[in-house]
Amino acid sequence: MLNYTIRRLFFVLFVVWGVSVATFFLSQVVPGDPALVALGDKATDEMIANFRVKNGLDKPVVAQYFSYVGRLLQGDLGTSLRTGRPIIDDLRDFFPGTLELSITALLIAALIGIPAGILAALNQNRPPDFIIRFLALIGGATPIYWLAILLLEFLHNKLRILPGPGRLDAYLIAPTRVTGFVGIDALLARDWQVFGDSLAHLILPAFVLGAFSSALLARMTRASMLETLSQDFIRTARSKGVSQSQVVIKHALRNAFLPVLTVLGGVLGGLLSGAVLTETIFSWPGVGRYTTDAAISLDFPAVMGVTLLAGMAYSIINLVTDLLYALFDPRITYA
């Protein structure tokens, strides 16, 4: 297991290196001139030349790549052309927002998707199964930005039961930043009004972001549960007179959960993608919106920084899922 973990860690390093090459290559095909993007149309030739020397843009591509990697190794992702700040600082500000949103979305997806999948499997080919399968099919095909627009219109604009875009109501003052998670920071500051408001603001975007994943999880759980329920050991348990609830809870769930676990990692990665759309619509100050804004203004150092970190995060999530898989299933051993 230790050997396997070390091997996988090397693999993560390799993938991160590959991701750095890929993102660097991408930044080289950008049609816009980064100097013009940073300095604006009114920049003089001298200003542009200075900018290019200062940022190493006048050097050959290979030299640019090596200096890029050298800076990366020191934790320097470069400076954003748009905000003028170190990208790592920008991401430190925006990352908690995305993490808060993604984790809540994952929780919602799991709380809806997994029980729905179990319920469907236990009622195979009966009305609850049909309804859940139908909803899962629709959930998996709905464009989440439309769902977001609709829910904002009805629950916020019309019924006024949930707050609109943003992380807090405009009249509230954000708590002093400690963790970057508004809810936790409000708790630390014992500001109950801000805490309640931040939770209320989280509901809609997290539900929208989790909807697609809950459909996926429901389908996976149902399939996996049906597969498990048809196995011999379940039949044996039943023939011994074990009650239905015991069969499900003690025998089936644990085994059915394994394949579900493997998609959870993918789901978290999918949430990072979904955050791009959700954060844009809900004006949510997270990495997704930061990336969209950066890409729109051709701020390629920032796009590269996010893509690199996202690739890294994704590889680590996959590693953790694989290790968890081994933990949950004693039959799996990694040499």
For other proteins, the binding residues (CB under 8 A) are 11, 14-16, 18-19, 21-23, 26-27, 29-31, 137-138, 140-143, 145-146, 149-150, 153, 157-158, 222-223, 226-227, 269-270, 272-274, 276-277, 280, 291-292, 295-296, 298, 300, 303-304, 306-307, 310-312, 314-315
Nearer to other proteins, 50 or 257 (CB): 257
Nearer to other proteins, 134 or 328 (CB): 134
Nearer to other proteins, 154 or 192 (CB): 154
Q: Which residues, other chains included, contact 224 with Cβ-Cβ below 8 Å and sequence gap of 6+?
A: 117, 256, 257, 258, 259, 260
The answer to whether the beta carbons of residues 285 and 97 sit under 8 Å apart is yes
Q: Which of 100, 303, 110 is closest to 203 using CA atoms? A: 100
Q: Which of 106, 283, 273, 99 is closest to 183 using CA atoms? A: 99
Nearer to other proteins, 43 or 226 (CB): 226
Smallest separation, CB 313 to other proteins (Å): 8
Nearer to other proteins, 163 or 288 (CB): 288
Smallest separation, CB 212 to other proteins (Å): 9
Smallest separation, CB 36 to other proteins (Å): 15
Q: Which of 252, 205, 206 is closest to 230 using CA atoms? A: 252
Nearer to other proteins, 22 or 261 (CB): 22
Neighbour count for residue 149 (Cβ, 10 Å): 13
Q: What is the dihedral of CA 250, 252, 255, 259, to 10 degrees?
A: -140
Q: If you search the block for the tokens 């644990």, which residue do you land on?
A: 254
Smallest separation, CB 145 to other proteins (Å): 5
Nearer to other proteins, 124 or 246 (CB): 124
To the nearest 10 degrees (0 to 180), the angle between helices 300-328 and 87-122 is 40
Smallest separation, CB 284 to other proteins (Å): 14
Q: Which of 20, 27, 19, 17 is closest to 299 using CA atoms? A: 27
Smallest separation, CB 198 to other proteins (Å): 25
Q: C-alpha 240: how far from its chain's center?
A: 44
Give the whole-angstrom CA distance, residue 279 versus residue 213. Answer: 16
Smallest separation, CB 293 to other proteins (Å): 10
